[in-house]
C-alpha cells in the first residue's frame, strides 16, 4: 500500500484534523515521508488544511 493510501486511511479513522506528527504516529510512517506525502495530497486536492499545521480529508 502506498504512503498516501495509509495516510488517508489513518486520517479518516481519526475523524478530526491532525498534525503531521499525529499522522506519522497513527500510520507508522516516518514523519519526513508523511510531510512530503501531505504536501502532494494537498496539491492534488485530496486533503485541506483547516488551520495552520493541521490536515483533514477534503469533503
H or E segment to which residue 55 belongs: strand 54-57
Domain count, the chain: 1
Contact 7, 37 (CB under 8 A): yes
- CATH code: domain of residue 49: 1.10.10.10
Q: Identify the pLDDT of residue 20.
A: 97
Per the structure, the complete domain to which residue 13 belongs is given by 3-57
The 10s digit of each residue's pLDDT in 7-58 is 999 999 999 999 999 999 999 999 999 999 999 999 999 999 999 999 999 9
**Tell me, what's the pLDDT at 59?**
84
Q: Which three cell numbers stand for residue 54?
A: 493541521
Q: Sort strands 18-19 and 54-57 into parallel, antiparallel or unpaired.
A: antiparallel
Amino acid at each position: 500500500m502506498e504512503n498516501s493510501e495509509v495516510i488517508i486511511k489513518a486520517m479518516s479513522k481519526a475523524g478530526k484534523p491532525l498534525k503531521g506528527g499525529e499522522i506519522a504516529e497513527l500510520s507508522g510512517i516516518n514523519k519526513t515521508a508523511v510531510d512530503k506525502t501531505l504536501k502532494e495530497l494537498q496539491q492534488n486536492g485530496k486533503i485541506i488544511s483547516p488551520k495552520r499545521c493541521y490536515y483533514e480529508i477534503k469533503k
